[in-house]
Chain A
């Protein structure tokens, strides 16, 4: 009979799914607003998206406390960058910063699954996808989180990504129009919500383009 000991995990998975799609002159970043713990729904209205810069939007799912801490660290680093360089960070620069920030905690990771979306210095859509310790890649579209296994194959089929080994290198951004991309994202989430218990309640979509940032919402199933 061993002594009863309190045991706790510093991590929890609060669920949720994030998606981003890059277009020729826009970027769509979306995430659901459900926050769960085990079989409980904690709240139906928690945003996983943060706009760090005019041209960079971060969507992260996973352990909410780590996600929030990560968002604050990046926002603080960006403020310092602005003081030091007298300009805002570009999306690729923010992408590198996020990678470095995640790797900094390589041996006690931020349990956050990130998708960074935005516009590069040429105004083209860009999406960067990460693992929990900062490994990243620029892609034309990505999905992370609890519904990613359901959404990624669908996006692969619909967006016909060119093979990464093709020469000359072909653009990964989709030729779809902004409204077609938004509809695609809505379809992704409606489907993921059906089969993933951690995805649902409401969908928050941020659309970045030359005119600025726009937000759209869509109700999802609450069961």
Chain B
């Protein structure tokens, strides 16, 4: 939930997870004002979708495709939306998870991440993700990833939200914090041995 401004931790309660329509959820990283712009585009998209009033609704796959086109077209005009987006959802029993970067690079997978998550979380997920994880197991796994990021990404704050999307809809948890442990012996006297060494 952190929003940095360079090296300053400017905003400490940024909601970076938002529902989109009935079936999807978007998570964003990067420039918050550009994310707010994207939410305006998505609000218009969902509105148009609802105005058809035909019982159909855009699913996560369609929203992801729309976002991909928006990001790519802005990149083509050399005026990118400076975000990395995650798009997940469930529609008609089919689950979907995808991501798109500021230059339009996109893919779907069983687990995705933005920024430092690609370096720190994806390896953990590659090792421990399986088909048919229960929701509770999924939360434990995600919290493990977020904890590692909290320890090792200096722009991270200890305040997060977890969202769940099912056929019934989207729920986003209230903000909470992770338990951390700072008494590892390696953290004690961190400059020990530094003098005289590189």
Contact = CB atoms under 8 A, between A and B. Distances in A.
Interface of A: 6, 8-12, 14, 35, 37, 40, 42-43, 45-46, 63-65, 68-69, 108
Nearest to A4: B6
A65 B118 contact: no
A213 to B, nearest CB: 23
Contact of A65 (B72, B108, B109, B119): B72
Given A40-B118, A40-B119, A45-B109, A12 B72 contact: no
Nearest to A10: B75
Contact of B107 (A12, A40, A43): A43
B59 interface: no
B144 interface: no
Contact of B105 (A8, A65, A108): A65
Contact of A42 (B80, B82, B107): B107
27 contacts: A8-B103, A9-B103, A10-B75, A10-B103, A12-B103, A14-B105, A35-B107, A37-B105, A40-B118, A40-B119, A42-B105, A42-B107, A42-B109, A42-B118, A43-B108, A43-B109, A45-B109, A46-B107, A63-B105, A64-B105, A64-B106, A64-B107, A65-B68, A65-B75, A68-B68, A68-B104, A69-B104
Interface in B40-74: 68, 72
Contacts, number: 46
Contacts of B109: 42-43, 45
A65 B104 contact: yes
A14 B106 CA distance: 11
Contacts of A63: 105
B80 A12 contact: no
A12 B102 contact: no
Secondary structure call for the A interface: loop
Contacts of A45: 109
Contacts of A42: 105, 107, 109, 118
Nearest to A64: B105
A68 B122 CA distance: 24
A2 to B, nearest CB: 16
A8 B80 contact: yes
B78 interface: yes
B126 to A, nearest CB: 9
A35 B109 CA distance: 11
Given A40-B118, A65-B72, A69-B72, A10 B106 contact: no
A42 B72 CA distance: 18
Task: Give the one of A63, A65, A68, A69 with max B CB within 10 A.
Answer: A65
Contact of A8 (B72, B102, B104, B122): B102
Task: Give the one of B82, B102, B103 with max A CB within 10 A.
Answer: B103
User: Which 7 residue pairs spanning A and B have beta carbons closest together?
Assistant: A65-B104, A43-B107, A43-B109, A65-B105, A64-B105, A46-B107, A40-B118
Nearest to B111: A43
Contacts of B68: 65, 68
Contacts of A40: 118-119, 122
Contacts of A68: 68, 104, 106
